[in-house]
Amino acid sequence: MQPLLEVRGLALRYPSGTQALIDVSIAVPAGELLVVLGGNGCGKTTLLRCITRTLTPTAGEVWLNGGDIAHLTGERLRQARLDVALIWQHAALVRRRSVLANVACGALGRHQTLLTALGLLPSIEMQAAADYLHQVGLSHLAKQRAGTLSGGQAQRVAIARALAQRPSVVLADEPVASLDPEAAQEIMRLLRRLAHQEGLGVLCVLHQVDLAFAYADRVVGLRSGRVAFDQPTSGLSQDAVRQLYLAEAA
Amino acid sequence: MSTTQLTAVRPWGGGLAIALRTVGFLFGLLVLIQSLIVVQARPQDLVSGFHGMVDIVSRSMPPDFAYLPEAAWPALETIDIGLFGTIAGICLALPLAVLAASNVTPSRVLYYLSRALIGFTRAVPDLVWALLFVTAVGLGPFPGGLALAVHSVGMLGRLFAETIENMDMAPVDALALTGANRMQVFTHGVVPSVLPALAGIGLYRLDENIRSSLVLGFVGAGGIGFQLLTAMNLFQYQDVSLLLIIVFVIVFAAERLSAICRERLA
């Protein structure tokens, strides 16, 4: 089956000369939760930034829905981005708006009207937004200000906002980094459900090896900007993962 | 360890510190003395002139409350000059602040141009603006309102721009990545985040503008200041004292109201 997202031979060299990514190739098929592991500075976040195209890769391709987006700009890039949702390490909600409004904001890209440009929310999206909020189990907080939520709740709202975007691929950049273990498990369960039940392709960058083993379908190890391994969780040894962090310490 | 090091260093550092402090103190004293010389401070004049002040105060008592109906209109004019100046100032300052905030400005050229414009309106005092506008549109409250509007742009524009620059950019970046266009990112991400702070700054400016509009009357730009000047020139001190009471009430009420509104916003 054609993967939803595929990066081929991706390379990125920062202007400072640091080679952050070297020949990285990863495919994310529909219905799979793929976790990327690796030590600090191994290129995980750079990889996500190349896929969302806040960075332009120096070489390689980023295939999304049958098109290469690695060198798109302007309006065509904006269109392409509609299909990829990013969940940030910190939920990045607009704190003074209601939870429901934050979720509905995810749909703005599909409603480019004068009214939405003036700050109104697309009214036909409000029911869908309420449904997504229900999916993450926070319907009762719809009217509350986003700034009043706990870290775990905010991250669930961020997931609902990502869903409101109706993407085919969801990226997550260390989404549980600032959460307690209980909330972290909840977020990982949600991400796995998006892959298995909604059929989305989910690529999640993590620091927690135990969560990767517990929830991922497949794990990619990054070491010094290269893919060290790429295999199903069932066949993955603890030792291979440990090597990722040892190599960094050495 | 570190404590023994500290005590070992102290005799040296202690002597140096005392010397530095003495030099600092003497320097401060010099600055103070030169200012007393430059302003020609003569406390004895204040003492000898005291009876003159008492005379004026006694002649201004009691305040002439019969003058109240006549003073009501200029008082309202003063408040409205402040209101007009603030609202017009906000309308002018907002677009300039967006251009002058480094994190959202659409171009570097516009950034420097708007910064320069904001700086210029602040550098020219409101009294000078009032004189300019009196020349342009004639005597009355309108030039006063215009002067306050233009001068407010300086302070409002700079504070608005700083508020936008200091905002948390994560929600803005997140919205941009959902595929929302620039305008949507601005109205849905930037505006709700900074609006309460901007409203607070605007209210603070309103309080300040009402106080400034009292003085603008002195140069013929309408309001109660003009009344005050006329009454003083005609030696009608009982009218002066009534006008000062009105001024006090207006200033105090504006300050309290603005403070209460700002507390509500926080």
Q: What is the secondary structure of A183-223 as a DSSP string?
A: HHHHHHHHHHHHHHTT--EEEEE-S-HHHHHHH-SEEEEEE
Chain B residue numbers with beta carbons less than 8 Å from the beta carbon of A53 are none
CA–CA distances in Å: residue A5 to residues A25, A29, A76, A172, B187: 11, 7, 17, 14, 31
Going through chain A in order, the beta strands assigned E by DSSP cover 5-13, 19-28, 33-37, 59-64, 67-68, 84-87, 169-173, 201-205, 218-223, 226-232
Q: In Å, how far is A23's CA from the nearest CA of chain B?
A: 25
In which residue ranges of chain B is pLDDT below 70?
1-13, 266
**How many C-beta atoms lie closer than 10 Å to residue B25's C-beta?**
10
SS3 content of chain A, % helix, strand, coil (to 5): 40, 25, 35
Question: What is the spatial order of strands in the sheet that A169-173 belongs to?
Answer: A84-87, A169-173, A201-205, A33-37, A218-223, A226-232
Candidates A92, A109, A118; nearest CB to B170: A92
Mean pLDDT value of segment A74-95:
87
Q: Is the pLDDT of residue A1 over 70?
A: no
Contact B178 A112 (CB under 8 A): no
A52: nearest Cα among B184, B168, B176, B180: B176
Taking only the tens place, the pLDDT of each residue in A138-171 is 889 989 999 899 888 998 899 899 989 899 999 9
Residue A92 contacts residue B189 (beta carbons within 8 Å):
no
Distance of CA B266 to the CA centre of its chain: 21
Residue A200 contacts residue A30 (beta carbons within 8 Å):
yes
Taking only the tens place, the pLDDT of each residue in A108-143 is 988 888 888 888 888 888 998 999 899 888 889 989
Taking only the tens place, the pLDDT of each residue in B113-151 is 999 999 999 888 888 888 888 888 888 888 888 888 999
Residue A141 exposure: Cα atoms within 13 Å on the Cβ side: 21
Per the listing, tokens 């962090």 go with A245
How many CB pairs (< 8 A) connect A and B?
74
Smallest CA–CA distance from A54 into chain B, residue? B177
CA–CA distances in Å: residue B16 to residues A27, A162, B29, B157: 68, 62, 20, 46
Residue A62 is given by DSSP the state E
Please state the domain extents for chain B.
2-44, 69-265
Say what the pLDDT of residue A179 is: 83
What per-residue string of b and e applies to B26-35 under the rule 16 or more CB within 10 Å gives b? eeeeeeeeee
Per the listing, tokens 């004639």 go with B138
Chain B residue numbers with beta carbons less than 8 Å from the beta carbon of A78 are 179, 181
Cα end-to-end span (Å), chain B: 48
| Biggest alpha carbon–alpha carbon distance for chain B | 80
Taking only the tens place, the pLDDT of each residue in A44-65 is 888 998 998 888 889 888 998 8
Contact B171 A92 (CB under 8 A): yes
Query: What's the pLDDT band for A220 if we cut at 50, 70, 90?
Result: very high
Q: What is the pTM of this model?
A: 0.74
Q: In Å, how far is B265's CA from the nearest CA of chain A?
A: 11
CATH for B69-265? 1.10.3720.10
In sign, the C-alpha dihedral spanning B93, B96, B99, B102 is negative
B211 and chain A in contact, CB less than 8 A: no
Q: Which is the CATH superfamily of the domain at A1-83+169-250?
A: P-loop containing nucleotide triphosphate hydrolases (3.40.50.300)
ipTM: 0.84
Smallest CA–CA distance from A79 into chain B, residue? B179
Chain A residue numbers with beta carbons less than 8 Å from the beta carbon of B169 are none
Where exactly does CATH 3.40.50.300 map onto chain A?
Answer: 1-83+169-250
Mean pLDDT value of segment A210-215:
90
Strands A169-173 and A5-13, bridge-based pairing? unpaired
